[in-house]
């Protein structure tokens, strides 16, 4: 981070070679999914802009051009400009006045950038992703914030409702000792606000994971889908929080080189501690969800195996019953068959006029039935 000694802003006209002409779109402009904003520039005022001297607001310009005109070159003076989804023309005008690098301006126009920190001369370009948790739909809503931090100015560009930088501005204005430390103090305050905003998201995700654990062991039918959807939210949240550690390490690495105020060094280390805690919690959430998904798959497999076992046992019992019924049917069928033969009305039957014919037929039926019973019993069909 450069040494933030306030110095006069170079007042100049347009670049001989403009950063980006109004007729030329950024190379990534076709990637921008945002709907075109058809409102005139006059209908899209700044969210807030102010000029501070030694931590005290001395002016509240109503436009970018007025801010440029009023920004003096005295020591301890700083401009803080807040924009919300600005038009390309507005960013190009700011880039021309504050000598912002065209690559950083292209990123700010298109948005949808990963969190990062880049240095262009004496200006830092920082991209952050704030997060809010929507409990009713179990989703993490992300907002993108771009910061241009120069020697005597801070330009914030928001591409979403979060974070609410008005809270940061009010906090800074009530702490003049912090605000007078310059643009890097504003960068600290914004980083601190974004990291603190992750706490409700962590709490919401933890609550959902606790509910999912209960549902898994209660065998809720749609818990697998819920695990998958929450895992996607955790992964997206991880992409927003993990790069913060590299951003803060980069800032810490420049403490000595750029002679950063010792008090701000403490503040930034505190933010780094909180960011590390958040990153570790998010990593833990992802691991927990992976484990829960594996446990759920195991429980589902066990439940399926138990169901197959019950079905097999039921089929076995059914087969046993069928065997018993079939055995008794065969036993009863044998005497019926013998009786049917002797019941035929033919004149020439060998035993028809035999005195012992009837006892013989009864005995034959009994022998056949007892023989079948013995055979089925030996095979455990009865």
Residue 39's pLDDT is what?
Answer: 43
Q: What angle do CA 87, 141, 29 make, to 5 degrees?
A: 30
**For residues 183 and 175, what is the distance between their CA atoms, to the nearest angstrom?**
14
Q: Which two tokens stand for residue 242?
A: 């993990």
CATH 1.20.58 in the chain, residue ranges: 319-378
**For residues 366 and 238, what is the distance between their CA atoms, to the nearest angstrom?**
84
Q: Which two tokens stand for residue 30?
A: 């076709």
Q: Which two tokens stand for residue 33?
A: 């999914």
Residue 324's pLDDT is what?
Answer: 82
Residue 69's pLDDT is what?
Answer: 78
CATH architecture of residue range(s) 1-175: 2-Layer Sandwich (3.30)
**For residues 6 and 53, what is the distance between their CA atoms, to the nearest angstrom?**
10
CB 178 within 8 A of CB 257: no
CA 74 to chain centre: 47
The model's pLDDT over 6-57, given as tens digits with 9 standing for 90+, comes to: 333 333 333 333 334 333 443 333 334 444 444 443 334 457 888 898 888 8
Residue 259's pLDDT is what?
Answer: 67
Residue 55's pLDDT is what?
Answer: 86
Closest CA to 110 of 171, 40, 28: 28
Residues 6+ apart with CB under 8 A from 304: none
The model's pLDDT over 303-349, given as tens digits with 9 standing for 90+, comes to: 778 888 888 888 888 887 888 888 888 878 778 877 777 776 666 66
Q: What is the pTM of this model?
A: 0.69
CATH 3.30.460.20 in the chain, residue ranges: 1-175
Residue 68's pLDDT is what?
Answer: 76
**For residues 228 and 309, what is the distance between their CA atoms, to the nearest angstrom?**
29
Strand order across the beta sheet in which 153-158 lies: 56-59, 48-53, 77-84, 153-158, 139-149, 123-134, 116-120
Residue 15's pLDDT is what?
Answer: 37
Q: Which residues of the chain have pLDDT under 50?
A: 1-45
**For residues 159 and 67, what is the distance between their CA atoms, to the nearest angstrom?**
22
**For residues 73 and 70, what is the distance between their CA atoms, to the nearest angstrom?**
10
Residues 336-344: contacts with CB under 8 Å, at least 24 apart: 338/364, 338/365, 338/368, 339/365
Residue 283's pLDDT is what?
Answer: 92
- Does domain 319-378 fall into CATH 3.10.20? no
What's the chain's average pLDDT?
79
**For residues 277 and 283, what is the distance between their CA atoms, to the nearest angstrom?**
10
């Amino acid at each position: 981070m450069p040494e933030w000694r306030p110095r006069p802003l170079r007042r100049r006209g347009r670049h001989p070679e403009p950063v980006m002409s109004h007729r030329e779109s950024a190379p990534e402009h076709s990637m921008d999914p945002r709907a075109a904003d058809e409102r005139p520039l006059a209908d899209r005022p700044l969210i807030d802009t102010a000029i501070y001297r030694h931590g005290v607001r001395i002016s509240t310009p109503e436009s970018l051009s007025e801010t440029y005109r009023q920004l003096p070159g005295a020591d301890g003076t700083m401009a803080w400009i807040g924009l919300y989804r600005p038009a390309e023309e507005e960013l190009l005008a700011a880039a021309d006045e504050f000598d912002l690098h065209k690559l950083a301006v292209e990123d700010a126009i298109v948005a949808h950038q990963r969190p990062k920190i880049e240095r262009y001369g004496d200006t830092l370009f920082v991209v952050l992703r704030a997060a809010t948790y929507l409990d009713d739909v179990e989703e993490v809503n992300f907002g993108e914030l771009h910061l241009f931090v120069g020697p005597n100015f801070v330009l914030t560009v928001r591409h979403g409702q979060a974070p609410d930088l008005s809270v940061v501005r009010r906090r800074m204005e009530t702490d003049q000792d912090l605000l007078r430390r310059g643009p890097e103090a504003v960068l600290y305050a914004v980083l601190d606000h974004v990291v603190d905003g992750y706490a409700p998201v962590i709490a919401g995700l933890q609550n959902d994971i606790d509910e999912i654990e209960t549902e898994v062991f209660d065998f809720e039918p749609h818990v697998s889908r819920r695990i998958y959807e929450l895992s996607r939210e955790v992964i997206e949240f991880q992409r927003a929080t993990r790069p913060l550690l590299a951003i803060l390490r980069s800032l810490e690495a420049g403490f000595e080189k750029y002679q950063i105020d010792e008090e701000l060094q403490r503040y930034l280390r505190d933010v780094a501690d909180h960011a590390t805690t958040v990153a570790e919690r998010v990593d833990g959430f992802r691991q927990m969800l992976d484990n829960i998904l594996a446990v759920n798959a195991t429980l589902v497999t066990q439940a399926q195996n138990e169901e197959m076992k019950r079905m097999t046992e039921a089929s076995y019992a059914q087969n046993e019953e069928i065997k018993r019924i079939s055995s008794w049917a065969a036993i009863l069928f044998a005497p019926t068959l013998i009786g049917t033969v002797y019941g035929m009305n033919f004149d020439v039957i060998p035993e028809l006029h035999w005195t012992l014919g009837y006892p013989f037929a009864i005995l034959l039926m009994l022998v056949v039935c007892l023989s079948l019973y013995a055979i089925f019993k030996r095979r455990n069909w009865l």
